[in-house]
Amino acid sequence: MMPAPLKKQLASSLQDGFVLKRSVFQPCLELYPMEEWNLMMQKINKLNRFVKKNNDFIRRFTAGVKMVEIDALGRLLVPKDLVAFSSISKDVVFSSAVNIVEIWDKDLYEKSISGEDMDFADLAEEVMGNINDDDNGIS
């Protein structure tokens, strides 16, 4: 069941549908609004398929991709192979990842954000520390 506030945020994408796929880096699923998926596919379609690494990447990136819809009651049917990949058991977390939504098993999500395997302050500095091109005072 999709949380009502999230369903409301995705309202403009509901009629177009979504793509559900395995995450590249985490044991979770990624829910792409169709518009975002099409933008991603435009990038991927520019890759030269006669370069083996590109071909291998495309195959693995699109492995298990499913077209899905959110029904009128806010339910999202997750195929069994994707449930198995993400180890979703009982409780689920929907996490915003800028232009997509990550779908996690609650325990795995809590473990991933616990910070046990990394220092978030160091990560934030490494990723965002050299971005100084805005006038909004944030960076």
What would the pLDDT profile of 82-95 be if each residue is shown by its tens digit? 999 999 998 999 99
Where does the pLDDT of residue 5 fall: very low under 50, low under 70, confident under 90, or very high at 90 and above?
Answer: confident
Q: Which residue has the higher pLDDT, 134 or 16?
A: 16
DSSP state of 47: S
* Model confidence pLDDT, tens digit, residues 64-113: 899 999 888 888 999 999 999 999 998 999 998 889 999 999 999 998 88
Q: What is the pLDDT of residue 27?
A: 93
Number of helical H runs and strand E runs in the chain:
6, 5
Question: Residue 11: what are its φ and ψ, rounded to 5°?
Answer: -50, -40
Domains of the chain: 4-114 (3.40.1550.20)
Rounded Cα gap, residues 93 and 104, in angstroms? 5
What per-residue confidence (pLDDT) applies to 31? 96
For residue 125, the tally of other CB atoms under 10 A from its CB is 11
Backbone angles phi, psi at 22, to 5 degrees: -70, 145
User: b/e string for 8-31 if b means 16 or more Cβ within 10 A?
Assistant: eebeebbeeebbbbbbeebbbbbb
**Residue 117, pLDDT above cutoff 70:** no
pLDDT of residue 139: 44
- Please determine, for residue 41, whether its predicted confidence score (pLDDT) is greater than 90: yes
Q: pTM of this prediction?
A: 0.82
Residue 7 scores a pLDDT above 60: yes
